[in-house]
Amino acid sequence: MLAGIVFDFDGLIVDTEWPEYRSIAEHFEHHGLEFPPERWVHVIGSSWDVDWIGQLESALDRELDRVALTESRRLRARALRDPLIVLDGIAALIETAVEAGVPLAVASSSPRSWVEPHLEDLGLRHHFPVVRCRDDVVEAKPSPELYLAACAGLGIDPGRSVAIEDSANGVTAANAAGMVSVAIPNRLTRFLDLSHAALVVESAAALDLVRLRTLVAGG
């Protein structure tokens, strides 16, 4: 029996990760420098704290206006993600699960101030009775704490539940929580090894409740 489904947010429900990466990479490119995806992807799925300005200063061997660069990057990231679009197959999977009475939650390493407004804007918030974010736990992913908190909030057994992720850190967290992990790599996380997931698919369109129930049953 499928007890519930817990979704990651960034890079899984919406592609917020690419704008974050590109808004930084463009600042390096402006100075004739490279900031390849491989330098960024390993922080995805965690509570990232990357001193990209420090890296740029080191490469240029001079100090930069950190306030101005931070604001410039923030505005550029916002422009790149406007409008936010729910990724392929996610909305259909959510609707199918809701119609079948399967409990849903979100477990995200991002702060609630980021996740909640986006879910509201996308018209999805009401589908998730439980949303657990970085603010709710001591440790973000790859710790299992977020997934355990989400399952506890729904009152479901993690061992009979599915976590849907896009990152290696997220899959590690779900596995450590005892959940069945499904990975859907995006244009950034395709650079990561996601082989520790129970299942890897190209998009949520490849998923349905029958397939998820089979996974939980050990099939």
Q: Which residues have a catalytic role annotated?
A: 8, 10
Q: What separation in angstroms does the CA of 219 have from each of 195, 198, 199, 213?
A: 17, 10, 11, 9
Which residues fall within 8 angstroms of residue 174, CB to CB, at 6 or more apart? 6, 144, 147, 163, 165, 180, 181
14 and 115 in contact (C-beta within 8 Å)? no
Side-chain-facing half-sphere of 30: CA atoms under 13 Å: 10
151 and 179 in contact (C-beta within 8 Å)? yes
- Conformational region of residue 61, where left means phi above 0, alpha means psi within -120 to 50, and beta covers everything else: left
Side-chain-facing half-sphere of 41: CA atoms under 13 Å: 16
Which SS3 state, helix, strand or coil, does residue 180 take? strand
Q: Where are the alpha helices (DSSP H) in the chain?
A: 17-30, 52-60, 66-80, 90-100, 112-121, 145-154, 168-176, 209-216
